[in-house]
């Protein structure tokens, strides 16, 4: 989210695609929105109003996952990317810091 706020071309393309093409979805975990806004004030408001982006609430299963990670944003993002009945293959985490996700059971798209 911070990468998009800083003008990352790949992040911008993903946001545009989620808005313009059916079947493309971007998810913004609430805890990651908070951390992004702390790193770059104004990011949360900007991301939350973009068409094509679904803000993912912190539900009970996600809250229980928080205890297993070092940050709330990492835990909520990982939890959001795991397979669900709606997304049997899970979701891909788009990040400019892929090394932070090493060893996690999720797919990564490196925005760098």
**pLDDT the model gives residue 93:** 87
Digit-coded pLDDT (tens) for 6-43? 889 999 999 999 999 988 889 999 999 999 999 999 99
**pLDDT the model gives residue 86:** 85
26 and 15 Cβ atoms separated by less than 8 Å: yes
- pTM here is 0.83
Go through 40-78 and write b for each residue having 16 or more CB atoms within 10 A of its CB, e for each that does not: eeebbebbeeeeebeebebeeebeebbeebeebbbbbbb
Helices 30-39 and 72-81, packing angle to 10 deg: 140
Digit-coded pLDDT (tens) for 34-49? 999 999 999 999 999 9
The pLDDT of 100-105, averaged and rounded, is 72
């Amino acid at each position: 989210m911070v990468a998009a706020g800083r003008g990352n071309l790949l992040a911008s393309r993903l946001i545009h695609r989620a808005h313009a093409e059916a079947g493309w979805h971007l998810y913004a975990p609430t805890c990651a929105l908070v951390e992004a806004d702390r790193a770059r004030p104004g990011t949360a408001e900007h991301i939350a109003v973009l068409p094509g982006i679904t803000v993912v609430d912190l539900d009970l299963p996600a809250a229980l996952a928080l205890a297993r990670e070092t940050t709330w944003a990492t835990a909520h993002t990982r939890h959001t990317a795991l397979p669900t009945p709606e997304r049997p293959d899970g979701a891909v985490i788009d990040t400019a810091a892929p090394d932070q996700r090493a060893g996690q059971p999720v797919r990564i798209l490196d925005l760098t």
